[in-house]
Structure 1
Amino acid sequence: MSDMYRSKTMDKISENDIGSKMKIAGWVENIRDHGGVSFIDLRDMYGVMQVVLRDTELLKGIKKEECLSIEGVIERRDEETYNPKIPSGTIELEAKAITVLGKVYKDLPFEVASSKEIREDVRLKYRYLDLRNKKVKDNLLFRSQVISFLRQKMEGMGFMEIQTPILSASSPEGARDYIVPSRKYKGKFYALPQAPQQYKQLLMVSGIDKYFQIAPCFRDEDARADRSPGEFYQLDFEMSFATQEDVFRAGEEVLTETFKKFAPEGFEVTDAPYPVIGYRQAMLEFGTDKPDLRNPLRIIDVTDLFQKCTFKPFHNKTVRAIKVHADMSKGFHEKMLEFAKEIGMGGLGYLEIKEDMSYKGPIDKFIPEDLKGELADRARLVSGDVIFFIADKEDLANKYAGQIRNELGQRLDICEKNAYRFCYVNDFPMYETDEETGKIGFTHNPFSMPQGGLEALNSKDPLDILAYQYDIVCNGIELSSGAVRNHDLDIMVKAFEIAGYDEETLRNKFGALYNAFQFGAPPHAGMAPGVDRMIMLLRNEENIREVIAFPMSGTAQDLLCGAPAEVTEKQLREVHIRIRN
């Protein structure tokens, strides 16, 4: 290291350097003036060093967050001023000369040490200052370590890292594309890839056995706490001659080892093999295809029981029930009813099971005795239980039951703490009916292999066909989706035909795969765990933007560099675009 600005970084200076001449460089974290003697806490990326200034003239004009190079001698601190919170807490630098490398010209928008408490839009506008905060910066250092480990792990498992194009063709499936106008080809557009889907499949056709990359993906979606608008990164991987189970084993290996290595101290991680839950079972038992297994509550179906009953609000509806063993006050029930109405439910029925196994609750009088016996058997009720009922159309009953389950888990504080609980959700439906048009369309990835192959496509009701599709879910957050890919041209043509695409459209829109599958495509499968979400979970952050260096705001704006922004008329003309009012 050249010692023009510094002899060593803060982490490399120790008691062994006492008596040595030294230059250090960094930013002024704090200034303390004690009359005849002053102190500066100087921070670099690696640590903080206390600087003592016995010549107070040296301090003249120095401001917080200025970038300095300070020359002096390392000495031992007085014992009563030791700082056990920092590695350099027993030593200090006595300053002999100070050079200002970077001035601060105006008032700071916030104190760096407390930037995490500042409004997010201000933090993002001055992100370079926010990143000086140790907690914020440590998230980036942590991210770097995790990505480095993922690379080593994938290479150790025999995967080869390959970069796929950023400028690609627009795809009609999935989220909205970001489109890029072509200067050379008037009226034509590139698209930023929502995922490297087609390219990684083409790599398998090329004879690459196992591919991976830390892939940037671009989707014009709205932000959520666990989704960054615009762009995100995923650990994208694909394997030839592989089944669903082969991908499960690979996914488990990399995720279990990553989470065990980087989880906070005392956290438990699900051991492989992960539980596998079918989509229909997940929707029934958890009310969602993203189940949080830390919550011990399960939802049961009691629809058939209530069809034998005259209670009109439950008649001809899907009825779900959640059993809880807990003491609940009248106030608790009122709060749960309030929550149910907030999420759109008309009400929330419940029954309390008393010591003599009699029932108490607002709907007790509407349920005949023999039905109560059946209900007790079905739900395995014991005294002290409370059972809640959710009734609506099937999709809404599932959704509401899932939300009531989550709320009960939180309010009763019964969810497992300090744990990462993984599962696979598989057997997703291949097709669904579009609510607006009534037409059949793909539920998820159109490139998935249908279970039962061509025979199923030719003979079954499309809504009964399942796909070899799967998700990895951790603590209620979808970490990854994946599938066994459709590599057979006849199956591909038929699958797209059912979804309303004729062969000509297939040839035009997905020409690369359509053509490649005519030259001996191997069976292949893969998945893509989200890197940002992994790191968000491992750092226990509530918001994904905390683990991204320069995130967009929740309104999809880059407040730092001012994107999106207007461009000049000349730029628009070059790419043959006119803005319509």
Structure 2
Amino acid sequence: MHRYRSHTCGELRSSDVGTDVRLSGWLHNRRDLGGILFIDLRDHYGITQLVARPGTPAYEALDKLTKESTVRVDGKVVSRGTENVNPDLPTGEIEVEVGEVELLGAAAPLPFTINAEDGVNEERRLEYRFLDLRRERMHRNILLRTSVISAIRHKMTALGFNEMATPILSATSPEGARDFVVPSRLNPGKFYALPQAPQQFKQLLMISGFDRYFQIAPCFRDEDARADRSPGEFYQLDVEMSFVEQEDVFRPIEQLMTELFEEFGGGRHVTSPFPRIPFREAMLKYGSDKPDLRAQLELVDITDIFEGSEFKAFAGKHVRALPVPDVSAQPRKFFDQLGDFAVSQGAKGLAWVRVAEDGSLSGPIAKFLTEENVAELTKRLQLAAGHAVFFGAGEFDEVSKIMGAVRVEAAKRAGHFEEGVFRFCWIVDFPMYEKDEDTGAIDFSHNPFSMPQGGLEALQTQDPLDILGWQYDIVCNGVELSSGAIRNHEPEIMLKAFEIAGYDRETVEDKFAGMLRAFRFGAPPHGGIAPGVDRIVMLLADEPNIRETIAFPLNGNAQDLMMGAPTELEEARLRELHLSVRKPQPK
């Protein structure tokens, strides 16, 4: 018999009754019922119930062990009997009567309970992550991640893509976030950058003639944590294709996402095909470029209705309305709670009216609306009895943010929210440039390597803020999974695009020498995308926080509490790297 096990803890069935077996695993739980000891033994594959009877060496050994100790047990498989079957376990028809026990690894007192979700704080969980990962939910999440990545590889290969690896040590790049930098010992005073994304390298692979590339790529960004973003490092499915236009990129990615979410989504429906929504339309209708389409309500721009109005709350401001049908049965509390929610999102309040049976409007602001206002609102919003309308007014971005959140919350509270589905969409036609609110300078709004719609002529003749890029995002249930673009592969267009963003020719030639040199040797039109693996798994696992789907994440302050990173370097090591440390002065 094998030194540690003849079977796993998820393997034994009623057909094994009478068999002598050896199992190894963790002491998951222990119960003493009428002098008989029942032990749940757990390994990677499942749980098997052990039985130890009083007066036996096995009873004495198991009774003294702490939970989560690892043991090897020898015993005989016996039937539980019909009345004692546990239908929740694959091994629930049998138990193992233990004859011999060997302690393999004793467990110290536990910092938190493993066999139950006991509300332990995240910092403690991350400090003892190796214990946290023993919990059923976390174990399931990490295995889901493994299965998803394996499926991605198989599906991408079947779609004709070639898996390739790109460098980890590279040069800094203006991707929109801070780089993690690595000092070079052999090149004093110079630094590598860890890749925010393998953007330039995957483009160079297209120029090298490889046509269809993919990679499960580690990416590194020195940015703050969010529920849907892990600080430090993350993984994405990097994809690039040659001789393609936008729709050519969409087709395989849409097929991949549909298959992945149908296979691992637990029966939740995937709506297909994915709608294409222009960026500006998304901001007007949904208040966000990451719209949650499960919310079956839309915002309406009614700014023009109140131009020149004497109603000061709306006059001279951007005004967005949210019509909500079928709220006639909702109490005043419904409106007050939505108002409180709007305040939590940064609003000063939430104006609203409701429509009576005769078509008249009532509510806090009804008295400020003229007959013309009411007539135009009724027509524009297609109001009918039982409707309510919520209003937001202010600067465009502020109103979009607040009313976008109110749209989803109102849909959930009013029964206009679709549960049990994955609603995807493509957000397209992003502005190529944006204006910095503080400096007024023009900068890239999205990916600086994107091809502008209209090419060089658009860059030379149009207002930069009117130029659209061949850029796109894929969004699912209000979560941005990916950004992508058709790339700028022509040197003169690239130089002009960066010139508009404030980069002179010499700077661009210096920073992107490898890219520009490659472009000058026959670059194919190409495009790509990079869906976030962590976010895909987060949605499939139905977890609110991305760290619940990563084996060893950093905490919100980009610290590894388990391993103690980041750490200080000894002076000798700093000298070897030609570095000195200047710490911030205490305030």
Query: 1:33-182, aligned counterparts within 5 Å?
Result: 33-34=32-33, 36-54=35-53, 55-58=55-58, 59-60=60-61, 61-104=64-107, 106-115=108-117, 117-182=119-184
1:23 is aligned to 2:22:
yes
Query: 1:152-231, aligned counterparts within 5 Å?
Result: 152-231=154-233
Change (3 A) 1:27 1:496: same
2:552 to 545, 550, 553: 550
Residues 309 and 368 of structure 1 are in contact (CA less than 8 Å); yes or no, is this contact kept in structure 2? no
In 1, the alpha carbon distance for the partners of 2:174 and 2:526 equals 23
Residues 36 and 56 of structure 1 are in contact (CA less than 8 Å); yes or no, is this contact kept in structure 2? no
In 1, the alpha carbon distance for the partners of 2:11 and 2:501 equals 62
Aligned twin of 1:462: 464
Which digits, 9 at most, give the CA deviation of each residue in 1:313-354, with x for residues without a partner? 211111111111212433333333333333332332222221
In 2, the alpha carbon distance for the partners of 1:35 and 1:295 equals 54
In 1, the alpha carbon distance for the partners of 2:251 and 2:75 equals 57
1:403 aligns to what SS in structure 2?
helix
Aligned twin of 2:292: 292
Aligned twin of 1:472: 474
Which digits, 9 at most, give the CA deviation of each residue in 1:460-486, with x for residues without a partner? 000000000000010000011100000
2:116 aligns to what SS in structure 1?
helix
In 2, the alpha carbon distance for the partners of 1:118 and 1:3 equals 38
Which deviates more from structure 2 when the two are superposed, residues 545-554 or residues 357-366? 357-366
1:150 aligns to what SS in structure 2?
helix
1:240 is aligned to 2:242:
yes
Aligned twin of 1:531: 533
In 2, the alpha carbon distance for the partners of 1:481 and 1:101 equals 49
In 2, the alpha carbon distance for the partners of 1:361 and 1:319 equals 18
Query: 1:170-569, aligned counterparts within 5 Å?
Result: 170-265=172-267, 267-272=268-273, 274-325=274-325, 326-327=327-328, 328-569=330-571
Change (3 A) 1:459 1:10: same
Residues 159 and 211 of structure 1 are in contact (CA less than 8 Å); yes or no, is this contact kept in structure 2? yes
In 1, the alpha carbon distance for the partners of 2:464 and 2:163 equals 37
Residues 348 and 388 of structure 1 are in contact (CA less than 8 Å); yes or no, is this contact kept in structure 2? yes
Residue 166 (structure 1) shift: 1.1
In 2, the alpha carbon distance for the partners of 1:72 and 1:402 equals 61
In 1, the alpha carbon distance for the partners of 2:33 and 2:391 equals 68
Moved >4 Å (runs of 4+): none
In 1, the alpha carbon distance for the partners of 2:50 and 2:322 equals 62
In 2, the alpha carbon distance for the partners of 1:134 and 1:541 equals 14
- The CA RMSD measured in Å over matched residues stands at 1.5
**One-letter amino acid of the counterpart of residue 246, structure 1:** D
Change (3 A) 1:332 1:88: closer
Which deviates more from structure 2 when the two are superposed, residues 92-101 or residues 449-458? 92-101
Q: TM-score, normalised by structure 2?
A: 0.96
Identity %: 53
In 2, the alpha carbon distance for the partners of 1:172 and 1:542 equals 30
In 1, the alpha carbon distance for the partners of 2:33 and 2:345 equals 58
Which digits, 9 at most, give the CA deviation of each residue in 1:208-248, with x for residues without a partner? 11000111111111111111111111111010001100011
Which digits, 9 at most, give the CA deviation of each residue in 1:24-60, with x for residues without a partner? 1001112233465323221111011122223533233
Residues 424 and 471 of structure 1 are in contact (CA less than 8 Å); yes or no, is this contact kept in structure 2? yes
2:115 aligns to what SS in structure 1?
helix
In 2, the alpha carbon distance for the partners of 1:206 and 1:110 equals 53
Which digits, 9 at most, give the CA deviation of each residue in 1:160-212, with x for residues without a partner? 00011111111133111111111111111111111110010000000011000
Q: Which runs of 5+ in 2 are unaligned?
A: none
Residue 366 (structure 1) shift: 2.5
Change (3 A) 1:369 1:37: closer
Residues 66 and 109 of structure 2 are in contact (CA less than 8 Å); yes or no, is this contact kept in structure 1? no
In 2, the alpha carbon distance for the partners of 1:362 and 1:508 equals 61
Residue 308 (structure 1) shift: 4.1
Q: TM-score, normalised by structure 1?
A: 0.97
**One-letter amino acid of the counterpart of residue 48, structure 1:** I
Which digits, 9 at most, give the CA deviation of each residue in 1:511-545, with x for residues without a partner? 11111101000000110111111111111111111
Residue 456 (structure 1) shift: 0.2
Which digits, 9 at most, give the CA deviation of each residue in 1:112-171, with x for residues without a partner? 112463211111111111111122101111111111111000000000000111111111
